[in-house]
């Protein structure tokens, strides 16, 4: 399908600068743009490419002012990144949607399936499962006993959802993810053998939660492990038992959140952030990549870096000192030698 710049601008509520009739049929990165494609400029690092890109249309922010001629037709919008994302979403929705129940698969007679489902081959749906409308379950998915899945949720191949877990509406769970495996609970006895503590809780994902590939969300020892509305989890993230993650919090790949931690809403964690058990983190906290959070963060909106994690200003000052440690060590050695020589002279 082709769209003109004018049609795109009207859909986005933007303003065209250039040829309103130029057409595009696909999208591209601005640095790899080619005729017939649409790109966007959001990150200032990519500004030089707007003058060289071959893309036919480029989305830009309203306040961007080029200092050289631009060949591409421009569409000014409030937020070019969000506008581009909305176009990608529209494109994805235009694709043919899967529907129907493929064979072979197993669906227990007690399971309740909503309207217009897609259930891929070799999937297993256990007894007393409840599945909403327009749910898509791709091949080789396991849905355990008494699981509930809300409307419009998509579950990609190879996902395992253990018994009694609750998945909200409009969720996306990517391949290889496991929801509801046992939390890591063991008691050390007098004989030093570890005795397993039964994990009798469940996992609850609220609406609009998305979980990346090969992530794990463990069931609670008692009660529930909860990911609240709008939480986004990247690939290879581990959420332990009885953790609660607040609304619209996002975590990049390889984060590990230990048991019974409570994370506020609108937090952002970079890759490989680790959080100790029973920690409480306030709303809006941002943790840089590989931050190690071992204690409560009570102040909302702070940025922390490092391991152990520290507020960004203190951590940057510490990092500046770390860089100079070799020189500081040499200076200390020199001063020690001078001090020894001075004491020798005094003793004489």
Domain tally for the chain? 3
241 has catalytic annotation: yes
| Domain span at 75 | 3-94
Can you tell me the distance from the alpha carbon of 153 to that of 141, in angstroms, rounded to the nearest whole number?
A: 13
Can you tell me the distance from the alpha carbon of 145 to that of 130, in angstroms, rounded to the nearest whole number?
A: 9
Domain boundary among 94, 122, 142: 94
For the chain, give percent helix, strand, coil, nearest 5: 20, 30, 50
322 burial via Cβ count (<10 Å: 0-12, 13-18, 19+): exposed
* CATH at 82: 3.40.1390.10
Statement to judge: residues 179 and 86 lie in one domain: no
- Mention every residue, 6+ apart, whose C-beta is less than 8 A from residue 167: 147, 148, 149, 150, 153, 155, 161, 173, 179, 205
Residue 172 domain-assigned (yes or no):
yes
Can you tell me the distance from the alpha carbon of 222 to that of 148, in angstroms, rounded to the nearest whole number?
A: 19
> The pTM is what?
0.83
pLDDT band at 331 (very low <50, low <70, confident <90, very high): confident
Residue 113 domain-assigned (yes or no):
no
Residue 318 domain-assigned (yes or no):
no
Statement to judge: residues 295 and 332 lie in one domain: no
Q: pLDDT value at position 249? A: 98
What ranges in the chain are assigned the alpha helix state H?
5-12, 80-94, 312-323, 325-347
Statement to judge: residues 270 and 342 lie in one domain: no
Q: What percent of the chain has pLDDT over 70?
A: 100
Statement to judge: residues 52 and 173 lie in one domain: no
Residue 208 domain-assigned (yes or no):
yes
pLDDT at 106 over 80: yes
Distances (CA, A) of 212 to 48, 177, 233, 238: 33, 7, 6, 11
Least confident span in 42-46, 80-84, 200-204, 332-336: 332-336
Length of the chain: 348
25, 238, 241, 278: which is the annotated catalytic residue?
241
């Amino acid at each position: 399908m082709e769209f003109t710049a004018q049609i795109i601008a009207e859909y986005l509520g933007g303003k065209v600068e250039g040829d309103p009739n130029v057409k595009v049929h696909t999208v591209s990165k601005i640095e790899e743009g080619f005729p017939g494609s649409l790109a966007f400029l959001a990150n200032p690092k990519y500004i030089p490419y707007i003058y060289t890109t071959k893309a036919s249309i480029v989305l830009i922010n309203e306040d961007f002012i080029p200092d050289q001629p631009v060949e591409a037709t421009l569409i000014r919008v409030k937020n070019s990144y969000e506008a581009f994302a909305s176009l990608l979403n529209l494109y994805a929705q235009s694709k043919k949607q899967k529907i129907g129940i493929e064979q072979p698969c197993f669906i227990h007679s007690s399971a309740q399936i909503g309207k217009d489902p897609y259930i891929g081959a070799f999937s297993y749906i256990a007894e007393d499962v409840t599945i909403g409308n327009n749910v898509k379950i791709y091949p080789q998915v396991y849905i355990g006993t008494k699981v509930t899945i809300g409307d419009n949720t998509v579950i990609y191949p190879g996902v395992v959802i253990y018994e009694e877990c609750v998945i909200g509406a409009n969720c996306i769970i990517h391949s290889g993810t496991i929801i509801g495996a046992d939390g890591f609970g063991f008691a050390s006895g007098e004989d030093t053998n570890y005795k397993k503590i039964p994990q009798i809780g469940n996992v609850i994902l609220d609406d609009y939660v998305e979980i990346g590939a090969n992530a794990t969300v463990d069931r609670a020892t008692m009660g529930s492990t909860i990911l609240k509305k709008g939480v986004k989890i990247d690939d290879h993230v581990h959420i332990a038992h009885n953790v609660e993650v607040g609304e619209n919090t996002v975590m990049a790949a390889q984060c590990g959140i230990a048991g019974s931690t409570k994370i506020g809403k609108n937090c952002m964690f970079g890759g490989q952030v680790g959080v100790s058990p029973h920690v409480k983190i306030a709303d809006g906290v941002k943790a840089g990549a590989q931050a190690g959070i071992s204690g409560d963060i009570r102040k909302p909106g702070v940025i922390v870096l490092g391991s152990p994690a520290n507020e960004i200003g203190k951590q940057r000052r510490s990092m500046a000192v770390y860089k100079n440690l070799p020189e500081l060590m040499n200076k200390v050695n020199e001063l020690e030698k001078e001090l020894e020589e001075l004491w020798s002279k005094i003793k004489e």
